[in-house]
Homo-oligomer: A and B are copies of this chain.
Amino acid sequence: MTPTITAFERSPDGGRGLARDMRVRWALEEVGQPYDVRLLSFGAMKEQAHRARNPFGQIPTWEEGDLVLFESGAIVLHIAKRHAGLLPAEAKARARAVAWSFAAISTVEPPIVERETAIYLERDRPWHAERLPMLEGRIHVRLSELSARLGAAHWLDGAFSAGDLLMVAVLIRLKDGGMLEAHPGLAAYVARGEARPAYRRAFEAQRAVFADRSNNLKSR
């Protein structure tokens, strides 16, 4: 049965691959599974039909028969458990890949999102100029720690895993802010992720949504 995921009808990032459906698309491409996409407006995301999928009214979600899931991390691990290619077979290595998945989403991503939120919601506040470097300092601490652990390795723990997929997807959020460049090892790590054929396919698929819409708007 082909699963259906949800994604933004109008991507806030203009198809730059930063929305969280990208993680699920990438995982599905890594394991070679087809999927359908249900596009949602910002209004529809907050309506009851979507809150039945995700009580917090966010994308992505996962529908496959009567199974409904939310949280991109959980969906990526669900895909990884059922198809080879994203989790090691050996139990201990598998547990470590899950740990890296949580590290991406609960330790590395929050300060990055906090900075984005400040830029979106507080950029006109009088304190923004003073707070922004504080927020960026917290991100750099995490990046330095991650970079020290990665060292010269290609991936975080042996072969590419769901943990790398989620970590790269989180770090990509920093690409345009110039913060990643201060950590060349991580910049190279992100570039390795982006160079994977599965990433490219997923990126083009999410970008096509936005390109189609641009064309639609132009043709009106």
Identify the A interface with B (CB < 8 A): 51, 55-58, 66-71, 73-75, 77-78, 92, 95-96, 98-99, 101-103, 105-107, 109-110, 113-114, 121-122, 125-127, 130-131, 134, 142, 145-146, 148-149
Known A51-B145, A56-B142: A102·B127 in contact at CB below 8 Å: no
Residue contact A99 to B71, C-beta cutoff 8 Å = yes
Residue contact A98 to B127, C-beta cutoff 8 Å = no
Residue contact A71 to B145, C-beta cutoff 8 Å = no
Which listed residue, B51, B58, B68, touches A107 by the CB 8 Å rule? Answer: B58
Which listed residue, B74, B95, B109, touches A67 by the CB 8 Å rule? Answer: B95
Residue contact B106 to A71, C-beta cutoff 8 Å = yes
A68–B99 CA distance with the chains assembled, in angstroms: 10
Which residue on B lies nearest to A81, using beta carbons? B95
Known A125-B127, A127-B131: A102·B73 in contact at CB below 8 Å: yes
A113–B113 CA distance with the chains assembled, in angstroms: 13
Chain B residues with Cβ under 8 A from A96's Cβ?
A: 67-69
Which residue on B lies nearest to A163, using beta carbons? B74
A170–B155 CA distance with the chains assembled, in angstroms: 31
Chain B residues with Cβ under 8 A from A107's Cβ?
A: 56, 58, 71
Which listed residue, B51, B78, B148, touches A98 by the CB 8 Å rule? Answer: B78
Chain B residues with Cβ under 8 A from A77's Cβ?
A: 98
A149–B58 CA distance with the chains assembled, in angstroms: 14
